[in-house]
Structure formats: structure tokens, C-alpha cells
Amino acid sequence: MSQFNIEEEIEEIAGGEFERQPVPKSSLKSWKSFLGMYAGEHAAGTEFVIGPLFLTTGVSAFDLIIGLLLGNLMAVFSWRFLTSEIAVKRRLTLYYQLEKICGKKLVIGYNLANGILFCFLAGAMITVSATAVGIPFDMEMPKLTDTMPNGATWIIIVVAIGAIISLIASKGYETVSKAANWMSPVIVLAFVACGVVALQQLGVGSFKDFWNIWGEGSEPFPGQIKYTFWHVFFWSWFANAAMHIGMSDLSVFRFAKKASSGWTTAAGMYVGHYMAWIAAALLYAVYVQSPEAQALLAQGQAPNVAPGPLAYNAIGVFGIIAVVLAGWTTANPTIYRAGLAFQAIIPKASTFWVTILAGSIATIAGLFPAFAMKLLDFVALYGFILAPVGAVIVFEHFFHKQAGIAQNYAELANIKFNKSVLLAWAISFGLFYFISVQFDVFLSFVTLPAWLLCGVLFLVFSKYSQKKVYLKI
């Protein structure tokens, strides 16, 4: 799921320039430059948690397999026909494009939200790595329902991992970025191996055997809701909503020669998400059949969703290594990216100290297992918050002429705070979040309506607020 270091990697290839100017033709890259990045970056630490969490919802085999197939396809379409399409025409970073539309002061708010959410996600990855590191120490693993740290050993391991990751992120990003690309094949191989071993342990020799074991699914575990096809479909579509319909990957595809490079995201969706999620779910299916898990279920408790032990039970020490690497290669660039977001708010601060700040927040978040154990909910919330911001860019790009508004209005009018953007986001977010909470509607179900409403409201508000002198249509 994590492609948070793709931007930095591709900027390294291109020379690390063009932060505030369109990418020139001489620095454009072919689709091959994006294929490996997306394939590797979406086989990350989060997959070790998301796969098992699907199983805790009692989802049926058909709903999971087909829901993921089609949901990930919609994500690919979003990248191809929205993100990459706009990226190759504007060739600007998300942040600079937003600044042109929203104004510098309003972008600060976006950076703050982005940075904090990145920290929480990195915290979940530190939790993932801690479940593997803790195995030799016979550490008590966090339970599905745990929100608080469960002991001194857990705290020590999380703090140690967080400190190491933060220091590496603050001092040696280029080395880490390169290492992450080398490690990605190892992580992918681990997922494949885990899936194969899990099928053998389940006694699956045919599709019929698989269906007899999983088939119609089960009742959701304590504290979880029942997932249907539509839950899986919309959740997988919007798991990376901030990146595609939220336009974060404008920063990536601005280097693409053609918009068709957006199709390369399919490698990430089907090597990383599809294959890895199902493989991780199979690992958990093996554990659920164990006497320990059955005893917990009999007591009305949910069995642990701890990636380290699950992988270790399947492929031994290689599993521990893979989980540590997967968590590390995700958390490290995520902390780095959060540091960059914070630095945009406090530009006088050094990169080292803002990255340490981001790492500290992430480490504190990692102490609380809830961020990892409730990752399905957190990822849905993450996309729901940030995706509507992308609608502003999309609707302005495709419909500015029809709406009779100017492009890049904040830049043209020299304003630092475009109220039309804030009002559009606040109304759409507030309305649909209220609907979700008040009527118990799955959050991923309202992400698309919130996105569409934000885009429409932006056009309407801009139509009546923009001064005619700036209209250059």
C-alpha cells in the first residue's frame, strides 16, 4: 500500500529539481521508471496487517477475491485517467499546484494534516516491526482490541525501533531509498512463500478445498463489522485515495512522458495489494484454526493479529526478517515525507530536526496498537480526509471553462487564502462524516460522494467569489 518514497526516488533519478516549476522534456521518464517502484512499494508492512484484518470481518472468499480484483482496478483507473492525465499537462508537485489554487496559508493546513496522518501511518508500521522483533524476547503480542501498550518490553522495543528509523530517515535517506528498492523483491518473495505454505498447512490441494475452508466466510470477530463485496470493493478502491483522487501522486507522474504511464500502478495494486493481502489473510486463516485461537474465540475474544508470529509460524526466521524489513521500508520514507510536510510549515527548521520530530510522533503512535489493529478504519479515514482536496484540482482542471472560473486563481489574484476551497472541503467533509457516524455508514461508502460534492461546491463558490478581472478563459 505504501508508495510514500516513490516521489523521492523518481526525483533522485531526475536530478532532484523542479520543485516549483514544470518538469522539462529532458527530464521526462518512460513507463518503465514507474513499474518497479509501484510494484515494490505496495508490498509493504501494512499488507501483513490488512490481509488478516479482512478475515476478522468474516468476509466470504468470493467477496474478498472479486471485491479486491475490481476495487483495485478502479484505483488503477483513477491513477490513469485523473492523476497521470493532469500530471503530464501541469507537471507540478501536488503542493505547488495546491498553492496556485488555494494560496500559501491554506496549503499550510493541508501540510499539517498530511504530516500528522503520515506519522500515524508510520507508527502503525513501527508496531508491525515490533511484533517481529519481540518474538525472540517472548513478548506478549498486542491483541486486536488493544489500544494501550501491554507491557515494558513492548515499550522498549517500539521506542528502540522508532529511534533507529527516525535517525536513518533524518540522515541517510538516499541510502535507505536505494535499500528499500533492493529489499522489495525479498518482501514480495516472502508474501508468496507465506501464501504457499499457508495453503499447504490448511490442506488445500484444489479450489474446492479452498472453498470448503473459506467459502461463505463467518461471523465477524468481536469488535469488528461484517464485510460484504461492497465493503471490500470501496475500501480497496479508496485505500490509496489520497494518492490518486487526492492527487498526491501528481508529484510522481509529473515526470512521465505520457499519461499512459498511469497504467503501471496496476503492478502495485495486483502484486502488492491483491496478492499480498490474500497471502497475509491465508496466514491468519492458519492461525485461527490453532487451539490457542479457538480458545480465544470460545471466550468471545478476537485472536491476535500480530504479523511477526504469523509470518514466523509459516516460514520461520525468514518471516521475521521480512516483517521487520516491510515495516521498516514503509515507516522510514513515511517519516521522511512527514518531515518534509512539517518543514513546509516551519521552513527555517532544519530537515534533521523536523524529521526527528516526525519520528518522535510516529514512535509515540507506535506505542498504541490501535493504529495497527484498526488499520482498515484508519486508512479509510485517511483517504476520506485528504481525497476531497484532490477534487478541487480535478474539477478546476476539467471543468473551469464550463464553470466560468479562472485556473490557479490564488496565484492570479495574489491571495494567500482561497475561502472557496476551505468551504467546499469543510462542508463536504462535515456532511458526509456526520452521515457516516450518525447513521453508521461505512466510511469508504461516502468517500466518493464527499469527493464529488467538494469538487462541485468549489466550482460554485469560485463562480461567485472570483473577480472577473482575473478570468482568463
- pLDDT tens track for 369-385: 888 888 888 889 989 99
Read off the pLDDT of residues 224-265 as tens digits, 9 standing for 90 and up. 889 999 999 999 999 889 889 999 888 778 888 899 999 999
Measure the CA–CA gap between 242 and 390, rounded to whole angstroms: 8
43, 228 Cβ separation under 8 angstroms: no
Mean pLDDT calculated for residue range 66-70 = 95
Highest mean pLDDT among 113-122, 141-150, 205-214, 392-401: 392-401
Measure the CA–CA gap between 338 and 317, rounded to whole angstroms: 31
pLDDT score of 472 more than 60: no
Mean pLDDT calculated for residue range 65-82 = 95
Burial class of residue 218 (count of CB atoms within 10 Å of its CB; 0-12, 13-18, 19+): middle
Query: Band of the pLDDT at 24, cuts 50, 70, 90?
Result: low
pLDDT score of 166 more than 70: yes
Identify any residues that bridge with 29 across adjacent strands, giving them in sequence order: 256
pLDDT score of 13 more than 50: no
Going from N- to C-terminal start, the domains of the chain cover 6-387
Query: Band of the pLDDT at 15, cuts 50, 70, 90?
Result: very low
**First-to-final CA distance of the chain:** 39
pLDDT score of 347 more than 50: yes
Mean pLDDT calculated for residue range 294-306 = 80
Give the residue from 456, 389, 430 showing the smallest Cα distance to 101: 389
Query: Band of the pLDDT at 4, cuts 50, 70, 90?
Result: very low
User: Which of 46-50, 271-275, 331-335 is least confident?
Assistant: 331-335
pLDDT score of 433 more than 70: yes
pLDDT score of 56 more than 90: no
pLDDT score of 1 more than 60: no
pLDDT computed for residue 181 by the predictor: 62
Residue/partner pairs of 82-85 with CB below 8 Å, 24 or more apart? 82/244, 82/245, 82/247, 82/390, 82/394, 83/243, 83/244, 83/245, 83/247, 83/249, 83/250, 83/253, 83/262, 84/249, 84/253, 84/256, 84/259, 84/260, 84/261, 84/262, 85/259, 85/262
pLDDT score of 5 more than 70: no
User: Which of 52-66, 68-82, 422-436 is least confident?
Assistant: 52-66
Task: Tell me the HSE value of 328 on the side-chain side, using a 13 A CA sphere.
Answer: 25
Query: Band of the pLDDT at 10, cuts 50, 70, 90?
Result: very low
pLDDT score of 394 more than 90: yes
Arithmetic mean of pLDDT over the chain: 84
pLDDT computed for residue 180 by the predictor: 61
In whole angstroms, what separates CA 391 from the centre of its chain? 18
Of residues 184 and 124, more confidence is placed in 124
Of residues 439 and 56, more confidence is placed in 439
Tell me which CATH code domain 6-387 carries: 1.10.4160.10
In whole angstroms, what separates CA 315 from the centre of its chain? 26
